[in-house]
Structures are given as C-alpha cells and as structure tokens.
Amino acid sequence: SAVISQKPSRDICQRGTSLTIQCQVDSQVTMMFWYRQQPGQSLTLIATANQGSEATYESGFVIDKFPISRPNLTFSTLTVSNMSPEDSSIYLCSVGWLAAGYNEQFFGPGTRLTVL
C-alpha cells in the first residue's frame, strides 16, 4: 500500500491562470496516474506519468494544457494551464504497482478546483 498526499486540497482560481497540483507518495512507485473527476461522474484518465519517460496522455488531453513532471519515484506535478470554468473538477493522482501481475491503484485525497 501507499500513503499519498496532494497539495492543494482545494483552490479557487481565476480564468486564464494556471495551477500546479503536487502529488507526494511515501514510497517509490513506478506508475503514477492523473485523473479528472467531474462532480457525480466517473474518473477520466488524463495521463500516465512513469518515471524516466515522458507522460503518456489520453485522447482529448494535451501536454500544453496539462504539463506533467515526474522528477523522481515519489513525486509528480500536474499543471492545469490557462484555466477556464470547464476545468472545474476534482483532480486525483494515483499510484500503481504491477505486483503479482495486476494493477491495483492507490489514490490521493484529490484537489478540488473551481475556476471562476
């Protein structure tokens, strides 16, 4: 298992600004994921951030809008750039292992973002 913290826990931002969300894990992990979750909705994967390689973005998400850093095995950041009200959402980071061949993920508490 892993303990994951995210900063900030919530923020209210103005349109056109950027916010960087931090994700810190208490142990070294290979796979790290960033998700977006609209209120009452399911999770949408933004990108997979594996250490030592460029982040892999899902369809509909681009690096210019959601740049990701993964400097080491315990830390990652997701930036939401040039924000609009449509970016208001909960952003979740998670980590996973391929222990025993399966991908179980552990989640941070989330960052609740409101864009005015």
Partner 1 sequence: SQQGEEDPQALSIQEGENATMNCSYKTSINNLQWYRQNSGRGLVHQILIRSNEREKHSGRLRVTLDTSKKSSSLLITASRAADTASYFCATDLINAGNNRKLIWGLGTSLAVNP
Binding residues for partner 1, rule: CB under 8 A, are 4, 31, 33, 40-43, 45, 48, 50, 56, 90, 92, 94, 96, 98, 101-110, 112
Distance (Å, rounded) from C-alpha 21 to C-alpha 109? 12
Distance CA 28, CA 7 (A): 19
Length, in residues, of the chain: 116
Structure tokens at 88: 């208001």
Nearest distance in Å: CB 79, partner 1: 20
Q: In terms of CB distance, is 18 or 107 closer to partner 1?
A: 107
Question: Min. distance of Cβ 82 from partner 1 in angstroms?
Answer: 25
Q: Which is nearer to partner 1, 4 or 21 (CB)?
A: 4
Q: How close are the terminal C-alpha atoms of the chain, in Å?
A: 37
Three-state secondary-structure class, residue 80: strand
Comparison of 18 and 28: residue with beta carbon closer to partner 1: 28
